[in-house]
Amino acid sequence: MPPGSEDHSKLCNLLNEIKAADLKIAPRKRRSSKSLGSSPPVTYMHICETNGFSMGVFLLKTGSSIPLHDHPGMNGMLKVLYGKVSIRCFDKVDESPAAGTEARFHPPLLPFQRETLRRSVLGSVCEISEDSGPCILTPQKDNLHQIDAVDGPAAFLDILAPPYDSDDGRDCHYYKILRPVLENADEKPEQQEDEMWLLEIPQPGDFWCGSEPYPGPKISI
């Protein structure tokens, strides 16, 4: 179902009509994720999954984030159910790993780190709410993103096709944004504003995702 196709447009229109109440999900109280002790900053409600797609709801507490991560070879749709989120999307530039060997960083990177280094560009930055249309990602466009709750808790419906599957090369990877050291002292930072690199990192220690039951209508496939 490629973007721009009739079926894709129909699905976008259907998603645009979905409200939190349709899934029997009530907006959460405004409590900071830091005040909740050992409880996870983000939880996930599993709705359904097949070999072709997965569907569920992510719930973000106040001040929480889903760190920068990718969706290898996957298409996705994200529809906010309540609250507001900020989404920063990145695209990898199609280059070999060796392309990063010439860039200099501070502090210097270790050899094994450079093997996972990829040049990237900032694709888009937006804030969306329940009144916004769905956010779309493809294998080539906006495939890496970071999602932050804005001004309170938030929840969004998440559809991925195909779903994550580490056995089939679709594992989730996390990234840190790096900017190279300027080679010329007279060069202005804005001249390299578009040049950034993504370094693959382990899952950040301050992020983990819990689970909770889905209270909405059952899905039969």
Considering only residues 104 and 37, tell me which one the structure prediction assigns the higher pLDDT. Answer: 104
Confidence of residue 30 (pLDDT cuts 50, 70, 90): confident
Q: Is the pLDDT of residue 36 over 80?
A: no
pLDDT band at 119 (very low <50, low <70, confident <90, very high): confident
Domain spans of the chain? 38-211
Dump pLDDT digits (tens) for 8-27: 889 899 999 999 999 999 99
What is each CA distance from 65 to 18, 32, 76, 93, in whole angstroms?
23, 12, 18, 25
List of residues 6+ apart from 202 with CB closer than 8 A: 174
Q: Are 52 and 27 in contact (CB under 8 A)?
A: no
Amino acid 191: pLDDT? 45
Predicted local confidence at residue 107, as pLDDT: 78
What is the value of pTM for the model shown?
A: 0.86
DSSP H stretches of helix in the chain? 6-17, 111-114
Mean pLDDT across the stretch 86-94? 90
| pLDDT above 60 for 93 | yes
pLDDT of 209 higher than 90 = yes
The burial of 68, by beta-carbon neighbours within 10 Å (0-12 exposed, 13-18 middle, 19 or more buried), is given as buried
pLDDT over threshold 80, residue 70: yes
State yes or no: pLDDT of 192 exceeds 90. no
- The string of pLDDT tens digits covering residues 126-151 is 999 999 999 999 999 999 999 999 99
Architecture of domain 38-211: Sandwich (2.60)
Q: Tell me what the pLDDT averaged over the chain comes to.
A: 87
CA-nearest of 122, 131, 145, 120 to 65 is 145
